[in-house]
Amino acid sequence: MRVAIMQPTWLPWMGYFDLIDQVDLFVFLDTVQFTKRSWHCRNRIKTSQGSKWISLPVSARFSKDSNLNTAIVHPEHRMRKFLKTLRQEYSSARAFEVEFPVLAEHLSGISDGASLAEMNINFIHFAMERLKITTKTVRAQSLPNFDGRVMRLIEICRFLGADTYVSVPGSADYIGLDGMKCFEEAGINLVFQRYDHPIYQQCGSGFLSFMSIVDILLNAGEQAGAILRSGHREPIPALEFFGVSRSESSGQENNYGAA
């Protein structure tokens, strides 16, 4: 069984959904500390002036016990402004007339005082449905509490009975060769996601990659899932990703930068 584990972020990009789409079970790591000015509460959309950050006001008490579940969102005023921006910037998008009302209904339904984790996860499930992604998901808060950055991933995989863990390339910096050895010792195959960002027809001039998933939903509509999957590539085995042979896999520095 293939498992991936990621923090629930706000309006994620296409690669996030490719990761969900290629595993059997996806774990929302909702037990991590909330970070201000991060992907937890902001993302980008395409506008006539280029990319624009869209963020949410979040309140959180910062202590060792605070996390995405205790961070609270206050979306009402900001959400109205966001939807107005989407209408202005995407009204000429091919699928706007079909997708915008559905998207607006979902976003307008976010209640003031909701937890950031719950809001992000609910939106991800909403987008999964639009993209026809049926992967099962589970929240880390419903699992035993495991410690350690790498060991937490391994213990979650063990608990869920996973034989393969699919990591995003950006996690290579902290997994490293030592972490790769830990996965090997646990009998879990470590591979890294490989995704080639598709180019599709966006409204306006030019093409901007790595925008929020709302961009392809509003531009491509029912074709969004197929376009997203066109960028999928088979994951890279950890040894190949780090560029070492099995005999060299101990004591060598990570020579692959984060994506």
Contact 249, 177 (CB under 8 A): yes
What pLDDT sits at residue 255?
A: 28
Task: Give the pLDDT score at 254.
Answer: 30
pTM of the model: 0.91
pLDDT at residue number 76: 73
Q: How far is CA 249 from CA 152, 165, 179, in A?
A: 22, 18, 11
Per-residue pLDDT of the chain (259 residues; tens, 9 = 90+): 999 999 999 999 999 999 999 999 999 999 998 888 899 999 999 999 999 999 888 876 655 567 898 888 887 778 889 999 999 999 999 999 999 999 999 999 988 888 999 999 999 999 999 999 999 999 999 999 998 999 999 999 999 999 999 999 999 999 999 999 999 999 999 999 999 999 999 999 999 999 999 999 999 999 999 999 999 999 999 999 998 644 444 433 332 223 2
Q: What is the DSSP letter of 24?
A: S
Contact yes or no for 13/127 (Cβ under 8 A): no
**CA nearest neighbour of 116 among 83, 81, 70, 79:** 70
**Tens digit of pLDDT for each residue in 69-112?**
888 888 777 888 999 999 999 999 999 999 999 999 999 998 88
Tell me how far apart the alpha carbons of residues 120 and 7 are, in angstroms, rounded to a whole number. 10
Per-residue model confidence as pLDDT tens digits over 159-188? 999 999 999 999 999 999 999 999 999 999
d(CA 254, CA 20) in angstroms, rounded, equals: 26
